[in-house]
Structure 1
Amino acid sequence: MAGVMFAFYDFTALVELNIGLADRLNENRSESFAVMLFDFSEVIPESVEPTLGTLLRTSDSLVHYDHHYFVVMPYTDRYGTGIVKKMVNERFATAVPSAAVCYPADGETPLELLEKLHAAAKNELGIDLDCLYSALNKEP
């Protein structure tokens, strides 16, 4: 399977790791990685992980919570998230609700990035991701 699965418990640490790698390897601070949310509530659950595994790169990371999947994609900018969204929609033959944030444009800490993702999901998709606050060990 392309894409490595992480426990939701490790989500914040995974974002912190990607921030550290981006800072170490990317001196010009362009959009270094993206975090995407996909809401697969309208997709057959058993098909999600195997299908995502065929789409993602081996450097990408997955975090699963309920029917939400979060994908952390190194060296992916906003344009790249659009390509990934299109690939997912085509492979699942439906418009899978999604939102994305990019580091450092949308935030420079895990808290800033995940709060921005939470706001995007709520405002653009009507999805409440209060689960992100538990990943950050904070109250909503």
Structure 2
Amino acid sequence: MAGIHFQFGDFKQLLRLNIGIADRLDENRAESFTVLYCDFSEIEDETINRALKKILRTSDTIANYKKDYFFVLPYTDKYGADIVKKLFDKFFKKFLNTFLISYPADGESAEEITEILQTSVKRFCKRDLDYLDVLK
């Protein structure tokens, strides 16, 4: 299994797509999907690729900017996304710098989700994600 990798420039569009699907299919508006941010800055590319193939489902999507990885996990709440995070921790044998944000509980639009993600990652992970500002 492995997630589907998208170009980073399409990240906001990927969020919009998942919001549209969730709004159409999830009438109770539970945590329809969760975005898992992971800082893989100290991990080699080949090791990252092996982990992605082993851990992610084919329905999961990936966008990365350098070693900052964003996983959109459909029909996954924060508890489920935390399990994915722990699988990465175990695979890499280290505690990763991560953050979770769910739709619609934490944000109602792609813009709101990326804004909250930026603010939260800067505060809790001490990582600057200002490059998200240039996405359309």
Query: Which TM-score band applies after superposition, normalised by the shorter structure?
Result: over 0.9
Identify the residue that residue 39 of structure 1 maps to in structure 2. 39
Identify the residue that residue 96 of structure 2 maps to in structure 1. 96
CA shift digits 1:27-51 (9 cap, x unpaired): 0000000111110111122211221
* Distance in 2 (alpha carbons) for counterparts of 1:64 and 1:76: 20
* Distance in 1 (alpha carbons) for counterparts of 2:54 and 2:131: 27
Identify the residue that residue 5 of structure 1 maps to in structure 2. 5
* Distance in 2 (alpha carbons) for counterparts of 1:49 and 1:115: 28
> Aligned ranges for residues 52-67 of structure 1 at < 5 Å?
52-67=52-67
Percent identity, aligned pairs only? 46
Secondary structure of the residue aligned to 1:58 is coil
Q: What TM-score results when the alignment is normalised by the length of structure 1?
A: 0.94
> Aligned ranges for residues 61-76 of structure 1 at < 5 Å?
61-76=61-76
1:80 Cα deviation from its structure 2 partner: 1.0
Count of residue pairs the alignment pairs up = 136
* Distance in 1 (alpha carbons) for counterparts of 2:53 and 2:30: 27
5+ residue gaps, structure 2:
none
CA shift digits 1:111-139 (9 cap, x unpaired): 00111111111111100001111124xxx
5+ residue gaps, structure 1:
none
| Amino acid aligned to 2:52 | L
Is 1:48 aligned to residue 48 of structure 2? yes
1:73 Cα deviation from its structure 2 partner: 0.5
* Distance in 2 (alpha carbons) for counterparts of 1:25 and 1:11: 21
Identify the residue that residue 127 of structure 1 maps to in structure 2. 127
Q: What RMSD in Å do the two structures reach over aligned CA positions?
A: 1.0
1:66 Cα deviation from its structure 2 partner: 0.8
